[in-house]
Amino acid sequence: MLIHFSSSCTCPPSSSYFLGRLSNSRPPYWECPLKPRTHFFKSLSSSSSSTNAKFLYPPARRVDFRSGAFSGFDFGSVESVLEAVGVLTAIIVVHESGHFLAASLQGIHVSKFAVGFGPILAKFNSNNVEYSIRAFPLGGFVGFPDNDPDSDIPDDDEDLLKNRPILDRVIVISAGVVANIIFAYAIIFTQVLSVGLPVQEAFSGVLIPEVRAFSAASRDGLLPGDVILAIDGIELPKTGPGVVSQVVDIIKKNPKRNVFLKVERGNQDIEIRVTPDENLDGTGKIGVQLSPNVKIAKVRPNNLFEALNYSGKEFWGLSYNVLDSLKQTFMNFSQSASKVSGPVAIIAVGAEVARSTVDGLYEFAALLNLNLAVINLLPLPALDGGSLALILLEAVRGGKKLPLELEQRIMSSGIMFVILLGLFLIVRDTLNLEFIKDLL
């Protein structure tokens, strides 16, 4: 989803890298439109108003921003791109501010605070700290003068980060993660108070949001907004995990053969016969987008207690999704590795979300924060978790640090790996941009 570059050669412990994963499991013959989702689901048996509705977070459900990431990105309008970059930059600033404040409040020397990486566009100095904005707002870093040869601070100064007790260093290194977790909750809480949370209620059938021109569906009379209630005499239930796949499977198995659909159009139920075209692999296709048939309403809290309750449930729901997605990535790495995306992809997805609704942008920002927090805790070199692992090893060794040369070699190798991976993802995701594909 994102590569978060932190380029501070003077401060490996504060460097923060972020590798995210987009769930992009849609098959090539159908696609779902982007819709705002929430972890609050009204009980289907509940007939009460939204303020009294029962809400449930289904553990198996996963947030899925359907970006088309691996079949072609579309940045869309400049405004939506700027909104996505703004969200990403704010998340980076919050993460690095966590490191910065944790160090400053403990009296630890800090030499640099940078937003972005690459060439410096603007900078100023205050209280012996260089604050800078750099050319590419896709990362950031906090620099410490610990191993800076140009620093005039004595090497044995007790306020250098490397000379502080283990607990002080743990607080500084983990503060970025804590800041992102708090920011994620704050975003959700703001959403609850300002626009409310979207609530989905499922209905029978499968919705057709879009019909492609000159497709079998267009030729045989299907229209956007139609709802497929039955296919070949099989009634479709209320939206479930397999209802869309059920329709797709039948269409795939019947190329150039009639498929009979019972369709709800407005207040009428009509019968439509569709003859799927044949793909190169011999499967059928009709050229439509399919999505679960859900209606979305907004729920707003009546008081502060409800706002905190709603925000807490949404926060834990999103957290579960992030952790579950990470677990699935490691358990099925060979299949999921291709779904790891870089900064170009995340901006493209963010731009699409921004063009959709403000609800999606809130959830998108919260998810990025939680992804950054979780990924940074992994015990890998160049991540915050890697630095924490070295400190833990130091504690196990009775306070004896690893040789400085070995520690720098470990961190440098991790940084190099992340940079190379980031460059690969940037190139791959850039080649997937729609206007780049058109040029090629």
Domain map (residue ranges) of the chain: 75-193+370-432, 199-299
Confidence grade of residue 42 (pLDDT, cut at 50, 70, 90): very low
Report which residue type is found at 121.
L
70 pLDDT above the threshold of 80: no
* Nearest of 183, 146, 161, 196 to residue 307 by alpha carbon: 196
What is the percentage of the chain residues whose pLDDT exceeds 70?
Answer: 77
Rounded average pLDDT over 314-322: 91
Q: Active-site residues: which are they?
A: 96
Least-confidence region, from 101-105, 194-198, 408-412: 408-412
Least-confidence region, from 21-25, 210-214, 386-390, 407-411: 21-25
Provide the pLDDT for residue 216.
Answer: 93
* Nearest of 366, 389, 365, 363 to residue 376 by alpha carbon: 389
The larger pLDDT score, comparing residue 20 to residue 323, is at: 323
427 pLDDT above the threshold of 50: yes
Residues 6+ apart with CB under 8 A from 61: 39, 321
Radius of gyration of the chain (CA): 25
Provide the pLDDT for residue 218.
Answer: 92
Rounded average pLDDT over 39-66: 35
Provide the pLDDT for residue 19.
Answer: 39
391 pLDDT above the threshold of 80: yes
CA distance 197 to 88: 22
Provide the pLDDT for residue 337.
Answer: 64
Provide the pLDDT for residue 350.
Answer: 73
Q: pLDDT averaged over the chain?
A: 78
The larger pLDDT score, comparing residue 241 to residue 209, is at: 209
Helix (H, G, I), strand (E, B) or coil at 175: helix
What is the value of pTM for the model shown?
A: 0.68
Instruction: For CA atoms 215, 221, 227, 231, give the dihedral sign.
Output: negative
Instruction: Return the residue matching tokens 């859900």.
Output: 294
Per DSSP (E only), the strands in 154-196 are none
Cα within 13 Å of Cα(264), Cβ side? 14
Note the helical H segments in 237-383. 243-252, 304-331, 333-336, 343-356, 358-376
Decide: 395 and 169 in contact? Cβ < 8 Å: no
Element at 213 (helix H, strand E): none
107 pLDDT above the threshold of 80: yes
Confidence grade of residue 14 (pLDDT, cut at 50, 70, 90): very low
Provide the pLDDT for residue 381.
Answer: 80
Write out pLDDT tens, residues 251-301: 999 999 999 999 999 889 999 999 999 999 899 999 998 988 888 888 889
64 pLDDT above the threshold of 90: no
What is the percentage of the chain residues whose pLDDT exceeds 90?
Answer: 36
Cα within 13 Å of Cα(328), Cβ side? 17
CA distance 173 to 108: 12
Provide the pLDDT for residue 241.
Answer: 62
Neighbour count for residue 283 (Cβ, 10 Å): 18
Name the CATH superfamily housing domain 199-299. PDZ domain (2.30.42.10)
